[in-house]
Each structure stands twice: as structure tokens, then as C-alpha cells.
Structure 1
């Protein structure tokens, strides 16, 4: 395993982050078995992955509970545990969003489910239009000051929103976002025209979600047939990736994979690892075989010509129409 520091911080993280959204039973494409989920976590840690990302809303807390039980036997100081806050966690008022009340309530629930005294990286899952960002940042700063949270991060927003948040932190001397979690992969490159330049300029770490485009970039789908299995069979956003431009990207991925005797997934992940702004793509394997295949992308080298071939079919354009996860 290779390691890097998260943005300009001194926090050392593995070059791959284990995404834990699959660990639960809320949707049919999730693993739905705790023993299988824990085997993947154990194998990831055995491979040197020290960075795990989950969220309170993943299967309504089930993912956090599975992660919490899985990490009990490990040295907590060696692990970097990330989770998120924003989404709905129940009926009625004050059960979602980024108000001070919701943030402070939800961190307690996440700590309990994860079985830990502190969260290494606490992230706002989305921008909250109804709550002033200064209120949210003040609450997050309190969590850092009290030791319940080590670092704070954000996910999926417009660059003006992220820049505003960084400015508010600097203006009020609040803890600053040290990490951004955007959707970023070979067929979803809109962040190159949005938050990635801000992250590069401000020394903010980047941990992309959906690095394989919901499975599209694994090459398991075919342009001439409807998907009968996999995430695209039930997830509308994944199916929306079935465009001529994206198939052209996948053609290039497959060609380079054949030339290097590796898999399309490994080429796609290697492309992300070659991006200077990217610290640790978040992979969400549903099996140990998938996990090992993903981690092996560390050994795949891409030339400048390879990267140009992969990027040639698309010109990144920023759009506010981004799927939730």
C-alpha cells in the first residue's frame, strides 16, 4: 500500500479509501450480510488500507454499526474513520440538515454506532440551503475544539459554496474544511470545472466518490444490451451514463487495459491516482476479489499518451445536476 497526507494536513491516509455504503441492507445492490462486509473490511486493513468512509444515512446507521464492530480489534490510532452528516435520520423537525442542533445530535449517534470516542474526518454530506454556513462551521469548530472530531470535510457542492465556507472559517477563525469529497471519474469530470481548482489552490485533500462511475468503468456493461444486473439495472443515475461520449471513453479504457494486461477498473482507478489533486479514491467493493483488483491499480502506470487517449472523448462541463449518494 502507498500512503499520502490528506491535503495540506499531516494526516497520513492510504491511497485508497474503503467506501462503506455497500455495508448494509437498505438497497438491493448492497451486500446485506454483516459477515461478508466485515471480511472485506478485514482484508482491506490487511492490504494496508487505513482509511474508511461511511455516513450516518447509509442504511440508517447500519453501515456505521458494521464498521464500528469490525474495527474493535484494531489499533484505533492506526485507522482514519470518516463519516458524514446532513441527510434525514428520522421523521419530524430537526432530523436533517446542518443546523447546530442536528450536527451536535448526529455526531453523538455516529460516535455510538462507530464505537469510538472521536471521528477522524467529519464531513457535511451536502450544502444546506436553509442553514447559514457560519452556523454549521461554528458547530463543527466546537466538535474539533472538544476533541470529538479531528478534521472536517465537505462533499458535492458548487465551488462558490465551498469557497464561501473556507472564507467564513478564515474570517471567524473556525476549523477549516481540510477535505472535499466530489464525484469524480473518467466519465464524470465536471469537477475539473468546479471544486477541484479550489482544492488545488487551497491545499484541500480530495477523496473522489464513485471512482468507477457506478460500475460503468469496470466494463461489465455492453452498449448493445440493457443491463440485467449490477447497479445500472436499478439505479437511474448509473444508467444515465450510457451515452455515446461515455461509451467512447470506455472503449479507450478497454483498449489500454488490453495493452497493459490489466482490467478496465484498474485503468480507470489508475487515471485518478495520476491526478495530482487526488489523494484517495473511495472504492466500494462488494467482494474481496473486487477489493484486491482495485488495490492492484496502484501498480498500473499510465503514460501521458494513455491519459490523453482516456480524456479525449469528453470535455468536462460543470452542472448542478449531480446525483446524491
Structure 2
């Protein structure tokens, strides 16, 4: 798998990132559909063997157990310097004061807790999971800068916020000479393209890499419209259920177009949807989830597919504007 640079930073990552949200203790946190260590092992190994060396998790995933599984499995696979570990901070981890958000107190506590769970002394990318309207951006950015200067994170990134919020935080860092974000992790797929309006142009203009989550729209782009998905997550992921309910007529037409292009090329629909994502000029590397080995195989194959201009037009032409979701 090819190597890409994350924005204008020097950090090299794989062209596909494996999201680790599916792996954790299902008895902890809100991801009752997650799978434990032994079930996760073959997926992480297959990803690594396919050339995926970048793994994304978060402190809040399965109440920290996703980080524990990530750290354990990556130690089994490769030397620390040969993989890139990304995690996130913001979600509430403790009911005590300063147990969540992006205050200096929360960030300084949570980076140490994440490193302990991951079993490493640094992460390659430390991301804020959401914008915190209750904490001054200067406090957050200085704390993140101090995390980098302490050697606990190599780079910092952000996720899922309005473009003006992201720009405000970057401006604060520039103004004070603090570490800037090198990445934006946002929701972006054929059914949710609102980031093309402001966030992606801003990222491209300022050298920020984009590593989108849900490039397959929670599986909606992997099967014909109306075909039922399978698995516990389909029934229990309340957050995911609400993401793609806007303009179902347009969504149906988009999914039909994906199916048609896939049929013409003789490949699974997932490969076409991922090839579209990976081929967008703003995108550095899509983040995929995997609960079946073919999910990884499809992702590895997709980065080698170059869609024609005609195919891209067919995939995009039915999209209708909608209110952004996923924040």
C-alpha cells in the first residue's frame, strides 16, 4: 500500500487508516456491538499485512478498552516506530470534575491515561474529538502544544466541527506560535458531502490533511438500497442510525449509481465508494472499520482504483444539499 504524507507535515501514514472503534469490551461504554481482543486480532493482523500501518482510536471508545486492545495488538505485530497510532480526547471519561472536554486539566490527565492504556510513551497523532465551546481555544491549543513539547504526541489533529471553529483554533495557534493541527477527521462520503463547502477548501489552502470517517456511510454504500445489513451494530448503533435519514430519494439514486459502476467494473460496491473517497483531492486517507476480513481486502484494493471522470459524475450527480450531520 502506498504511503502518503499527512497534510504538509512530515508524518507518513498509510493510504488507508484502520479505525479501531469496532474493537473493545462490549460491556463498557456505549458500543455494545464492539468485539474483544481475540476477535479483533485477525482483523488488525490482516490490515497490517495489507500495508495498513496507521490505526485510529479514541479514549472514549468502549470506555478506554479500545485503546487497550489497540496497544496490545500493535505490540504483537510490529516495532513501535513502524506503526502510527492516533487517538482522541474530549469525551467524558470520568464523572468527576474535569472528566471530559478540552480544558488543560482534562487534556493533561487524558493524554497520560491514553498512553497508559496504549502501552506507549507517545502517540503519533493526538486529536480533539469535538470542539469544546466551554473552554477558551487558547487554553486548549496551549495545552496541546505542551503535550507535543513534552514528547507525548508527535502531531495534533481535530475532528468533526464547523470550519469557523477549526479556523479559530488554528488562528490561536498561529498567533501564539503554538503547534498547529495537521489533520481534520470529518464525516465525508457520497451521502454526506457538506464538508466540500468550507472545511475541505480551508484544509487544502492551509496544508491540513483530511482523514474522513465513515467513507462507506455506515455500510449504506456497500449494498443495494433497501438491502438489510447484518450484525449487532445495525440494531444498536443509535448515533449511526440518524446520520443518513435526510433526502432518501437522493441517497437511493446515489447508492444505485455506486451499484451500477461496481457492476460494470466487476468489483464490490465498497471498492467503488472507497475509491471515490481516496481519489478526492482534499482527502489524504479514508478511515475504515472492519468486522469482516473482506472489509480490509476491499479497502486495500480500492486505493488502486482510478475512477474515470464520467464515473465520478455519475456517482455525484444525484447529491442534494443537506444539513451537516455527525458533529
TM bucket normalised to smaller: over 0.9
| 1:173-192 equivalences in 2 (<5 Å) | 173-192=177-196
TM-score using structure 2 length: 0.93
Q: Please give the per-residue CA displacement for 1:182-212, whole angstroms capped at 9, x wherever unaligned.
A: 0000001111113111101001000000110
Task: For 1:238 and 1:108, locate their aligned partners in 2 and report how far apart those are by CA, in whole Å.
Answer: 30
User: Is 1:149 equivalent to 2:150 in the alignment?
Assistant: no
Q: Does 2:285 align with 1:280?
A: yes
- Check conservation: 2:21, 2:57, Cα contact below 8 A: yes
CA distance in 1, matches of 2:198, 2:293: 34
Q: CA deviation at 1:222?
A: 3.9
Rounded Cα–Cα distance in structure 2 between residues aligned with 1:13 and 1:228: 31
Partner of 2:7: 7
Deviation, structure 1 residue 64: 0.2
Deviates more, 1:87-96 or 1:51-60: 87-96
Among 85, 108, 114, the alignment partner of 2:118 is 114
Question: Deviations along 1:214-265, whole A, 9 cap, x unmatched?
Answer: 111111x643x77675644333454442511111100000000000001111
Q: Measure the CA separation in 1 of the matches of 2:191 and 2:239.
A: 12
Q: Distance in 2 between matches of 1:130 and 1:58?
A: 22
Q: What residue ranges of structure 2 are gaps of 5+ in the alignment?
A: none
CA distance in 1 between counterparts of 2:109 and 2:16 reads 30
- Cα distance in 2 between the residues matched to 1:228 and 1:304: 33
Match of 1:82 among 59, 80, 86: 86
Q: Any idea what SS the aligned residue of 2:263 has?
A: helix
Q: Which residue of 1 aligns with 2:202?
A: 198
Q: Secondary structure at the match of 2:183?
A: strand
Shift in CA distance, 46/214, structure 1 to aligned 2, threshold 3 Å:
same
Distance in 2, Cα, partners of 1:21 & 1:293: 19
- Cα distance in 1 between the residues matched to 2:304 and 2:230: 32
Question: Residue 51 of structure 1: which of 44, 54, 70 is its match?
Answer: 54
Q: How many residues align?
A: 319
2:218 is the counterpart of 1:214: yes
Confirm or deny: 8 A CA contact 1:20 1:53 kept in the other structure.
yes
1:54-69, aligned counterparts within 5 Å?
A: 54-69=57-72
Counterparts in 2 of 1:48 and 1:228: CA distance versus 1, 3 Å: closer
**1:235 and 2:240 are equivalent in the alignment:** no
Q: CA RMSD in A?
A: 1.6
**CA positional deviation for 1:38:** 1.7
CA distance in 1, matches of 2:185, 2:8: 15
Please report how far the alpha carbon of residue 315 of structure 1 lies from its aligned counterpart in structure 2 after TM superposition.
Answer: 3.5
Secondary structure in structure 1 of the residue aligned to 2:303: helix
SS in 1 for 2:220: helix
- Please, which runs of 5 or more residues in structure 1 have no aligned partner? none
Question: Tell me, what secondary structure is at the counterpart of 1:215?
Answer: coil
SS of aligned partner of 1:123: strand
Is the 8 Å Cα contact of residues 153 and 180 (structure 1) preserved in structure 2?
yes
Residue equivalent to 2:107: 103
Partner of 2:136: 132
| Deviation sequence 1:38-63 (CA, Å, 0-9, x none) | 22111111111111000000000000
**The residue matched to 1:183 in structure 2 has which SS?**
coil
Q: Distance in 2 between matches of 1:202 and 1:279?
A: 14
Structure 2 match to 1:71? 74
Q: 5 Å matches for 1:22-37?
A: 22-24=22-24, 25=26, 26-30=30-34, 32-37=35-40
2:37, 2:73 → 1: CA distance? 9
Equivalent residues of 2:225, 2:255 under 8 A apart: no
Pair 131,312 (structure 1): closer, same or farther in 2 beyond 3 Å:
same
Conserved 8 A contact 2:18-2:55: yes
